[in-house]
A and B are shown apart, each in its own frame.
Chain A
Amino acid sequence: MSDRSKFPPVIDGKAQFDLDSGKYIKVWQGPQHPGVTGNMALELIISGDEVIDLTTHVGYLHRGFEKLMERRRYIQCFPIVCRICVPEPDTNEYLLAAAAEELAGIEIPEKAKWLRTLTLELSRLASFLMWIGGQSGAFGMGTVAQWAIAQRDFILDLFEELSGGRVYHMYIVPGGVRDDLPSGWDKHLEDVLVKTEKMLKEIEIVMFNNVIFKMRAQNLGIITPDMVDKFGIVGPNARAAGLARDLRKDEPYLIYDKLDFQVITRDFSDAYNRTYLRWQEMWQSIGLIRQIMAGMPAGNDYHYNLPNVLNWKIPHGETYVKAESTRGEYGFYMVSDGSGYPRRVYVRGPSYTHAMALLPHLAVNVNIADMAGLMVSLHTYPPEIER
């Protein structure tokens, strides 16, 4: 940080430069780039090896989910929403079901709530494992990626056993869930949890105590508390800045009010702390899964018998339901016009603000080699931006 005279001045988070001056280079990172999660592109203007301006480009995965849902019956929407967020599909499934149930005035059986919470926490764990693989990979620590993603695969095995699907579980349907826990599943789960715990301990040693990771991730992409509302930052990114905001606690849905847990916060939101916080939340998830398994109600009443789904109509209304995903507030805004098809479903993905507004702000004056790490530390996931 000695001589910065050659870098353009930054005013209000924006570097002041003239691209035609020939002093700066425009570089595209992505969409075809291994360091970019999902499929999006960063248009970088660099000065030397520092990024001075960034524009996020999305739309490579745009499938028009919201349009497609308008011409599908409510039940037919459920297989397609999970595709909006591949690493953590269950949040989508839950929110679609919750929105439809709220508008239709359906109360689902207690057991279904527990099973839903279980899948949500399990998918949170899987998603975080996938993410920590990306995060460590972005800083050159491929070993952790190998461990974490392989470990995630064992959770996918659990999902496969439970729901019949590995990646797209399609387990949470409007009205409840599709099936009970298979026999012997609890033992497999405990097995995987124990292994995951062991691995998490090892990750702490090799990652959070790693000098390279520390040097690169600390003070990278600092989010100050006053930025949080200005940019609409949610989830772990906001919690790392010291704001105890967690929908599971603030507006408990499903059975979160019956579970014992504390909102985890850290007091300084940089890439390192955000990573560490998510690592802590993995432990929290494991704890929650154990609590859920211990309290799982007996019986097999896990689905409310909907009116024949081919003719299922939902009365007029609009609602916004939300849940805490790994990336923060995930929401479905559903408008029903009384027909069998939703009038409008809007999917609010937390990555929207993180990638589109926050990332360009944080990227200024970041070394180009750290860009991937910075992006992953915000845990952005493109399909939920463009849908």
Chain B
Amino acid sequence: MKLKDYLSPFYVWKRAFDKPFTTRKPLEDRPGAPRYRGFHQNDMEKCIGCGSCEVICQNAAIDLVPVDGIETTRKDSGLRPKIDYGRCCWCALCVDICTTGSLKMSNEYIWIDSDPEVFRFVPGASEKPWKNTEAGYSQHENYTLLNLDRIDMPMLTPEDSRKSFIETVKGYSKEEAMKEAQRCVECGLCVATCPAHMDIPDYIRAIRDDNLDEALRLLYDTNPMPATCGRICTHLCEDVCSIGVKGEPLAIRWLKRYIVDQIDDTRFKAILRDEFKPNGKKVAIIGAGPGGLSAAYYLVTAGYSVTIYEASDLAGGMIRYGVPEYRMPYDQLDQDINYIKELGVEIILNNRIGKDTLFSDLYNNYDALFFSTGLNDPYKMAIDGESLPGVFSGLQILDDVTKGIKPDIGKSVAVIGGGNVAMDAARTALRLGAESTLIYRRREEDMPADTEEIHEAHAEKVKFITQAIPLRIEKTANGKLKFIWNNAEMVAKEGAARPSPIAIEGDIQSLEVDAVISAIGQGADYSFLPPEYESKIKFKRGKVIINENCQTTVPKIFAGGDIANPTADAISAIADGHNAAKGIDKFLNKK
């Protein structure tokens, strides 16, 4: 040992003159860093109660609880996370996964109590000192645990699609569907919104697990027309999808289609194992649209003998006659219908009630009646020149094309309206070789048509003229039609939900076309009902009043579909059919 070794320890004394390490007032001087993962905060308005935080919490520290002042709506479960600080490990996975970005962490970290029961609170609702702290951990832009982008759907290019009636949307491959299905967080918010309350998270999980048989069974639990709904459903579910808050919602509709696309229809019977014992009771259904078919399926599987009366020469109703083939190929629709037929449902075609068969005969011969005749009476524009030759209704065009008749629309058409029928008519006209111009009273964002349809119509180069109030149609000298409208401005009225178009005085425009297609909506046609029944059944604004079992005011008569529900889409009709079947079952078994 050297002398140095004996002396060097005394070097520590030098430190006596250094600035000490000690933090003088640690409690006051040291707030958590700006990114500190401290106690939780939740933006109660932003949160939708999807429960992803609960699922990802590996400590089972999060419960979803109802909170005062938060109502359950279609987009919000009304539940909020309650965190148990006897479990939490402050890993912030709940913050990372949060589908809305409402959950955050403050940089506060001191909570002391002598009672172990108090360490539970609902962030955002409980008054805590850190409720409004700014600093703390929150989601970052470049780091997400979710997949916010939808898997692109392979589609025909607009250039190709506008030329033919081949289906535009090609459908997911297995790999794409699995990837898309993986994006689901299984929150289940969509189930309430779906009119049929389909078990969406469950069948998506089945896709993920590649168990398509199970997926098909889940579909048929609530919807006997999956191939149809997989294509033309209005997919209200996607509007409330929690992934859609920050990103693109799951392609729920296309996933449903994927399931049916993958399974050969000859195997349906084996997979679904629909077994039933005939119970000897008979039900008649008027209209072989989605409502009627759905009711038929659930009635026949409950053991009833079902007969459907259909006025047209093929079943399918508005789906066949009102939706063009490039959106809803007929073989797919036939697949859905065939399976229902296979189960023993009798469909009598070309039989118009009131003409070929009397309503009263049905009423007397069957144990119950269900009618779902749909809206097939186009509204009139109520303008001059509407009855000129060359003015068609949108439905008529679609109907003709389905039947293989080529309507005489010439080289250019003006389509009036902004709904799905208008889009379909405009795009059908394109495929028939005409230039389409779409004319609508309000703005594009006010159009009731699906956004995808509007988008595709744009892509296929349909011209859009908006804020145009139709005035009249005139015949021109060269045999064309002149559609004249008045430009409008949008004026917000007090008390009105949306602004309405008000004509700008003197700003009148016109367009010369070969044909005008009016597609401004449809009403119901109740001519099949004899007066003695029509007087007993109650209506409101042209719609049949039904109870939750789809029962009309005449106990034996049930109704559903577009003539009864406000949404007037296929999935609602299917849901009505299901409810009616349950209602009829209840009604008949009570006796």
Known: A76-B56, A164-B36, A182-B34. Contact between A309 and B97, CB under 8 A?
yes
| Closest partner residue, chain B, to A169 (CB atom) | B37
**B residues less than 8 Å from A309 (CB atoms):** 56, 97, 145-146
Tell me whether A143 and B143 are in contact (CB under 8 A): no
Tell me whether A179 and B9 are in contact (CB under 8 A): no
Interface string of A169-184 (1 = CB under 8 A from B): 0100000101110100
Tell me whether A308 and B36 are in contact (CB under 8 A): no
Total count of chain A residues near the partner, CB < 8 A: 48
Give the complex CA separation of A49 and B161 in angstroms. Answer: 93
| Closest partner residue, chain A, to B35 (CB atom) | A164
| Closest partner residue, chain B, to A77 (CB atom) | B58
**B residues less than 8 Å from A146 (CB atoms):** 21
Q: Is B183 an interface position by the 8 A CB rule?
A: yes
Tell me whether B37 and A165 are in contact (CB under 8 A): yes
| Closest partner residue, chain A, to B22 (CB atom) | A150
Partner of B182, one of A143, A164, A307: A307
Q: Is B142 an interface position by the 8 A CB rule?
A: yes
SS class of chain A's interface: helix, strand, loop or mixed? Answer: helix
Partner of A211, one of B1, B36, B141: B1
Known: A160-B33, A214-B1, A305-B144. Contact between A311 and B182, CB under 8 A?
yes
Tell me whether A308 and B35 are in contact (CB under 8 A): no
Partner of A310, one of B36, B56, B137, B141: B56
Tell me whether B35 and A179 are in contact (CB under 8 A): yes
Give the complex CA separation of A369 and B184 in angstroms. Answer: 61
Give chain B nearest CB distance to A69 CB in angstroms. Answer: 10
Give the complex CA separation of A211 and B7 in angstroms. Answer: 9
Tell me whether A310 and B97 are in contact (CB under 8 A): yes
Give the complex CA separation of A179 and B37 in angstroms. Answer: 13
Give the complex CA separation of A205 and B52 in angstroms. Answer: 55
Give the complex CA separation of A259 and B89 in angstroms. Answer: 35
Give the complex CA separation of A79 and B137 in angstroms. Answer: 16
Interface string of B132-153 (1 = CB under 8 A from A): 0000010011111111000000
Q: Is B111 an interface position by the 8 A CB rule?
A: no
Give chain B nearest CB distance to A73 CB in angstroms. Answer: 8
Interface string of A113-127 (1 = CB under 8 A from B): 000000000000000
Give the complex CA separation of A186 and B185 in angstroms. Answer: 38
Q: Is B555 an interface position by the 8 A CB rule?
A: no
Give the complex CA separation of A310 and B183 in angstroms. Answer: 9
Give the complex CA separation of A146 and B18 in angstroms. Answer: 14
- Chain B residues numbered 85-99 whose CB sits less than 8 Å from any CB in chain A: 89-93, 96-97
**B residues less than 8 Å from A180 (CB atoms):** 142
- Chain A residues numbered 130-170 whose CB sits less than 8 Å from any CB in chain B: 143, 146-147, 150-151, 157, 160-165, 168, 170
**A residues less than 8 Å from B36 (CB atoms):** 160, 164-165
Q: Is A128 an interface position by the 8 A CB rule?
A: no
Interface string of A358-379 (1 = CB under 8 A from B): 0000000000000000000000
Tell me whether B21 and A308 are in contact (CB under 8 A): no
Give the complex CA separation of A75 and B143 in angstroms. Answer: 14
**A residues less than 8 Å from B97 (CB atoms):** 309-310
**A residues less than 8 Å from B1 (CB atoms):** 211, 214-215
| Closest partner residue, chain B, to A209 (CB atom) | B8
- Chain B residues numbered 148-168 whose CB sits less than 8 Å from any CB in chain A: none
**A residues less than 8 Å from B302 (CB atoms):** none
Give the complex CA separation of A301 and B143 in angstroms. Answer: 9
Known: A165-B37, A170-B91, A179-B35. Contact between A310 and B5, CB under 8 A?
no
Interface string of B553-570 (1 = CB under 8 A from A): 000000000000000000
Tell me whether B143 and A179 are in contact (CB under 8 A): yes
Q: Is B12 an interface position by the 8 A CB rule?
A: yes
**B residues less than 8 Å from A79 (CB atoms):** 58, 89, 91, 93
Give chain A nearest CB distance to B67 CB in angstroms. Answer: 24
Give chain A nearest CB distance to B187 CB in angstroms. Answer: 10
Q: Is B475 an interface position by the 8 A CB rule?
A: no
**B residues less than 8 Å from A27 (CB atoms):** none
Q: Is B176 an interface position by the 8 A CB rule?
A: no
Q: Is B17 an interface position by the 8 A CB rule?
A: no
Tell me whether B145 and A75 are in contact (CB under 8 A): yes
Q: Is A80 an interface position by the 8 A CB rule?
A: yes
**A residues less than 8 Å from B142 (CB atoms):** 180, 300-303
Tell me whether B8 and A205 are in contact (CB under 8 A): yes
Give the complex CA separation of A227 and B182 in angstroms. Answer: 52
**A residues less than 8 Å from B179 (CB atoms):** 307
24 A-B pairs with CB atoms under 8 Å apart are A73-B58, A75-B145, A78-B93, A79-B91, A151-B21, A157-B33, A160-B33, A161-B33, A164-B105, A168-B89, A168-B90, A168-B91, A179-B143, A202-B15, A206-B9, A209-B4, A210-B8, A211-B6, A301-B142, A308-B145, A308-B183, A309-B145, A309-B146, A310-B52
Please report B residues at the A interface, Cβ cutoff 8 Å.
1, 4-6, 8-9, 11-12, 15, 21, 32-37, 52, 55-56, 58, 89-93, 96-97, 105, 137, 140-147, 179, 181-186, 208
Please report A residues at the B interface, Cβ cutoff 8 Å.
72-73, 75-80, 143, 146-147, 150-151, 157, 160-165, 168, 170, 176, 178-180, 182, 202, 205-206, 209-212, 214-215, 300-303, 305-312
List of 10 A-B pairs having minimum Cβ-Cβ separation, nearest first:
A79-B91, A76-B58, A209-B8, A164-B35, A211-B5, A150-B21, A164-B37, A303-B143, A160-B33, A309-B145
Given contacts A160-B33, A309-B97, 19 further A-B contacts (CB under 8 A): A75-B56, A75-B145, A79-B89, A79-B91, A147-B21, A151-B21, A161-B34, A165-B37, A170-B37, A170-B92, A179-B143, A211-B1, A300-B141, A303-B143, A309-B145, A310-B56, A310-B97, A310-B185, A312-B182
